[in-house]
Amino acid sequence: MSQHNQEIYRTTSARTGKMLAIILGICIVGGVIFFSMWDYWISYQAPVVAKMAGESEHKLAPGVATGKHMDVTLKFIESPDFKTFAFNALPGEDGHNPEFKVKSGDEVTFSVTNNGKSFHAFGIVSDPENVNSILWNSAIAAASNPIKPGQGGSVTFTAGAPGTYYYVCTVPGHALQGMKGSFIVE
More confident residue, 178 or 45: 178
Taking the C-alpha atoms of residue 19 and residue 12, their distance in angstroms, rounded to an integer, is 11
Range of lowest pLDDT (34-43, 96-105, 148-157, 164-173) = 34-43
pLDDT band for position 24 (50/70/90)? very high
Q: Above pLDDT 90, what percent of the chain?
A: 38
Answer whether residue 22 shows pLDDT above 50.
yes
pLDDT band for position 36 (50/70/90)? confident
pLDDT band for position 67 (50/70/90)? confident
pTM of the model: 0.65
Q: Where are the domains of the chain?
A: 50-185
pLDDT band for position 51 (50/70/90)? low
pLDDT of residue 152: 92
Q: Above pLDDT 70, what percent of the chain?
A: 82
Question: Count of CB atoms within 10 A of residue 117's CB?
Answer: 13
The CATH number given to 50-185 is 2.60.40.420
Taking the C-alpha atoms of residue 131 and residue 25, their distance in angstroms, rounded to an integer, is 44
